[in-house]
Amino acid sequence: MATRFGSIDISFVRHSIKEISLAAEGSEEFFNFNVKDVSMGENHVYEHTVGVCVQPVFYLADWSLVIQFFESWLAQGATKFYFYAHSYTRQARTRKPEDREAYLSARREAKKAVAAKSHHHKALYDMLDTREEEWAVYRLVRARHHSTLDREHTKIVKGVDGAVLRRSGQILERWQEYYNHLCNEEFCHLPIPTVPSVEGPVLPITAVEVSAALAKMKSNKATGLDDILVDVWKLLGDRASVWVATLFNKIVAEGRTPDV
């Protein structure tokens, strides 16, 4: 990409911008500087002057050095400048031969893997184009569908007759029947058994029953509406049991609580 700024033609050779080398045409002297991770579109044109262009494109912290580079070469009659953008790899940072060889070796292996994958798919696509193997598409679809299913889970579902179901369709139908029966049928369970009612008058509450009830109550708990702790009734002993039993029998006989 070449962008013209007045009489200066700036060409961007590569666009993975991490490290920039700036040089004038016909010169082997490079001015290197680092930039932030900024990606540049291939067809984007920056219509600014040289001094204004350098900062928004590369986001330099101190771009006055670049302007000085331009000014010095403009004074020498240079009309074309090149920006060489380098990728931020280890080989680009160290410039060591062993790093470059490792980088090239890894790139060759990656190309081999991509070529092998393309060759494999090409043979498969050529096979699917023939009339004899057109049904292979459906076999591939079924194989891919089965690969997404959970084959490791053991399915043990019994039908209504108690037989073990193994097919997926039968298992789904059995679950549908189960939830249909569970959610839509009212009172599908057995009725709750009842005991015959007690005939005759209700027996009065005895002091023994009150004592047994007080013994089951825990101490150091919050009080009720009467603001009396359970510890008070336990402290009074039998006198409290007799008094409480008399009060409850009066409430049952009159059908109401006494006025406070």
pLDDT digits (tens, 9 = 90+) for 81-135: 665 554 444 444 556 777 778 878 888 888 888 888 888 778 777 777 777 677 7
pLDDT of residue 34: 54
Task: Output the six-digit token pair for 93.
Answer: 């940072």
Task: Output the six-digit token pair for 73.
Answer: 């070469």
d(CA 113, CA 118): 9
d(CA 46, CA 8): 13
Residue 155 has pLDDT above 50, yes or no: yes
Task: Output the six-digit token pair for 182.
Answer: 């569970």
d(CA 36, CA 60): 8
Residues 6-29 pLDDT 10s: 333 343 333 334 455 666 666 656
Q: Lowest-confidence range among 75-89, 98-112, 188-202, 232-246?
A: 75-89
Which residues, 6 or more positions from 97, have their beta carbon under 8 angstroms from its beta carbon?
none
pLDDT of residue 156: 77
d(CA 51, CA 71): 10
pLDDT of residue 79: 65
pLDDT of residue 188: 66
pLDDT of residue 209: 92
Confirm if 208 and 217 have CB atoms less than 8 A apart.
no
Q: What is the dihedral of CA 64, 67, 71, 73, to 10 degrees?
A: 120
pLDDT of residue 80: 66
d(CA 164, CA 150): 19
The segment with the largest mean pLDDT, out of 3-7, 93-97, 252-256, is 252-256
Confirm if 71 and 22 have CB atoms less than 8 A apart.
no
